Structure 1
Amino acid sequence: MMNLFPRLGAGWMLVAGVSFSCMGLLVKFGANYFSSAELVFYRSIVGFIFIGMSVLVEKRSLLTPYWPLHIVRSAAGLISLWLFFYAISHLPLATAITLNYTSPLFLALLLTVIAREKLNPLLLFVLLLGFVGVVFILKPHINDNQWFAALMGLLSGFGAGVSYLVVRTMGQKGEPEWRVVFYFSAFSSVVMALVMFFPLGNAVPQSWQVVKQHLGILVGVGVAATLGQLTMTRAYRLGKTLLVANLAYATIVISAVMGVIFFKEWLSTGAWVGVAIVISSGISASWLTNKRAME
């Protein structure tokens, strides 16, 4: 029976990959009607309501001694999510998601710089190779109007790396994952609500009429993201960590197929080479980081 668990974990990770791909697809559709801030708000509020109901029903305690870490994780996660949604709105879907999935490379780098872990020469090579892959994706396949969005996508990967580092720290201290997700959803909902009520420049939120007209997209973004988080958490709980982490990259492939089907976003051969390099480097960085943690 125990031998079945890794396969179950792999299956749940594939479900998570499909869910996150659907989230990206809906964000891209929603970008025609809503700003990135609005999409982040609706994605966060759905997750907050869902996990909030779970907290009430199961009478879980929200008390935590790790407030500073929750604030850092929530701020880094929110900025990363906001930049990620912006990148999806302005770049081919597979490109935006690949740039966001540079997070394992940034995490390995942060563990070396901040956690003072010894830098393995092989890990350094993998990190450099990963960013060579990013160059393959971006040049010359990104036009002049997309460079800013590409930079935001890459920064979203860095923000995700920071977020994962803090989550890793809280996990080592015994903080449950559901509490981390709850405070992240609550923080994101409040901050994005303020951004929507006090918009910057001409970024005026859409009217309630427009919201009602496209409510399916907004709710779908939140449901897909929440389902992705839940199934990803279960995958890591039931499966082998490295296998599950590697299968996370299925999101990129699924998103590329969706981009072709729905938006006719055909990637060039060079871009696909870059995607393959980033995936290979991310898998290698995850393996080396995990091996280092076990030593």
Structure 2
Amino acid sequence: MTSAYVSRPQGSPLIGVGWMLAAGLCFVSMTVLIKAVGTALPAAQTAVLRFALGLPFLLPMLPALRRARITPRLWRLLGLRAVLHACGVGLWFYAIARIPLGEVTAINYLNPIWVTVGAALLMGERLPPRRVAAVVAAFIGALVVLRPGLREIDPGHIAMMGTAMLIASGYLVVKRLSEELPAEVIVAMLSLMVPLGLLPFALPVWEAPGVEALAYLFGAAGLGTAGHYAMTRAFAAAPLTVTQPVTFLQLVWAVAIGAILFGEPVDPFTVLGGAIIMGAVMFITWREARARRAATAVAPDAMPVSRSEARPDARESSPD
């Protein structure tokens, strides 16, 4: 496998910020469309339809999928990732229909925190004291959002916490898969296997979807694909330390749109808790970038950056 250093053109940080802004707008707009469907359809059916309607967007990935050599071990890993993601997405759709958009977005920021914890527990990665402090701060931020004991905890909140854990677990599997399979194959297999995993839950409660719901979900599928494309371009154009803070705007947009379109109250605790979680994520991102720079400075010839390493999938801000 060949590796290459990633070179960025002059002024690329601004380009990276622009791509990340576009990605955030796509992800928030996608969530709004799913919220608009609401409880009109069961959550599992909504998730199945969203993935099914997104299949045409996979056509450019078919050549890579045909060339891939998938061993039985890789099939097992792909299946595990699909199960984790299917359960996470099902809970995510359930949460979107029941709790404010701002709270969905704020709790979703826990994804990279769970990835950090899981990498330490399951993969033996170091968890130094400063990173432990950031993890603790992130969970304090989650408590600020949820405020258990001070208000009623909706099942949607519990579902969203489960989403963050399950999607993060899936990212840990992706980390292993990315060492042996191209990104296009991993994405395509996920998009094909997740609806199959959700189908047994959707069929018993299946309802005839209306034209409006189908239009919303088709739009959500397109926005999700566009969001992941824009995010990938942002990661390629600028360092994570530049693009990561921009994702906090998703919380601002989600709170504003929830208030304007759905009449959701603006909860300052949600914004505060989301800011604490995002601050912890930014700190971990900064520390990782600093450690990579230090390692490269010590042994520049032994630390090439592969294209897969330049795309930190664990930083995705949306489970969809």
Q: TM-score range by the shorter chain?
A: 0.7 to 0.9
Structure 2 segments unaligned to the other structure (5+ residues): 1-7, 296-320
Counterpart of 2:272 in structure 1 is 273
Q: Distance in 2 between matches of 1:55 and 1:268?
A: 42
Aligned partners of 1:102 and 1:157 also within 8 Å: yes
State the match for 2:155 in structure 1.
148
Q: Conserved in 1, the CA contact under 8 Å of 2:111 and 2:164?
A: yes
Match of residue 93, structure 2, among 81, 85, 94: 85
How far does the alpha carbon of each residue in 1:98-154 deviate from its partner, in whole angstroms, 9 at most, with x for none? 11220111111111111112221011111111111111111169843x432111111
Relative distance call for 1:141 and 1:280 in structure 2 (3 A) is farther
How do 1:171-210 and structure 2 match up within 5 A? 171=178, 173-197=179-203, 199=204, 204-207=205-208, 210=209
Contact 1:48 1:189 in 2 (8 A): no
User: In terms of mean alpha carbon deviation, does 231-240 or 216-225 score higher?
Assistant: 231-240
CA distance in 2, matches of 1:264, 1:106: 31
What is the alpha-carbon distance in structure 2 between the residues aligned to residue 251 and residue 174 of structure 1? 33
Q: How far is the alpha carbon of 1:80 from its aligned partner?
A: 1.4
Q: What code does the residue aligned with 1:167 have?
A: V
Partner of 1:72: 80
The secondary structure found in structure 2 opposite 1:225 is: helix
1:25-58 Cα deviation digits (max 9, x unpaired)? 111111131111122112211333211x113477
Q: Name the aligned partner's letter for residue 182 of structure 1.
A: A
Structure 1 contact 141–268 (Cα < 8 Å) conserved? no
Which residue of 1 is the match for residue 69 of structure 2?
Answer: 63
Query: C-alpha root-mean-square deviation of aligned residues, in Å?
Result: 2.3
Percent identical: 23
Q: CA deviation at 1:186?
A: 0.3
- Native 8 Å contact 1:108 1:289 kept in 2: no
Alignment correspondent of 1:29: 36
> In the TM superposition, what are the counterparts of 1:1-295 in structure 2 within 5 Å?
2-51=9-58, 53-56=59-62, 61-65=67-71, 66-139=74-147, 143-144=151-152, 146-171=153-178, 173-197=179-203, 199=204, 204-207=205-208, 210-292=209-291, 295=295
Q: CA deviation at 1:68?
A: 2.4
Unaligned runs of 5+ in 1: none
Counterpart CA distance in 2 for 1:169 and 1:212 is 40
Q: Kindly provide the amino acid, as one letter, of the partner of residue 123 in structure 1.
A: R
Distance 1:61 1:251 in 2: 37
Contact persistence 1:141–1:271 (CA under 8 A)? no
Counterpart of 1:225, as a letter, is: G
Q: Which residue of 1 aligns with 2:314?
A: none
Aligned counterpart, 2:304: none
Whole-Å separation in 2 of the counterparts to 1:242 and 1:68: 34
Cα distance in structure 2, aligned partners of 1:157 and 1:13: 21
Question: Retained in 1: the 8 A contact 2:99–2:157?
Answer: yes
Change (3 A) 1:92 1:206: same
Shift of 1:243: 2.2
**Structure 1 residues 216-265: Cα deviation after superposition (integer angstroms, max 9, x where no partner):** 11211211111112221222223223323332333222211211111122
Letter in 1 for 2:18: G
Change (3 A) 1:216 1:14: same
Letter in 2 for 1:61: R
Aligned length: 285
SS of 2:224's equivalent in the other structure is helix
TM-score (norm 1): 0.88
Equivalent residue letter for 2:255: A
1:78 CA drift (Å)? 1.7
Deviation at 1:59, TM superposition (A): 7.8
Cα distance in 1 for residues equivalent to 2:238 and 2:51: 27
Give the TM-score, by structure 2 length.
Answer: 0.81
Distance 1:130 1:59, change over 3 A: closer
SS of the residue corresponding to residue 267 of structure 1 reads coil
Closer/same/farther in 2, CA of residues 287 and 175 from structure 1, 3 Å limit: farther
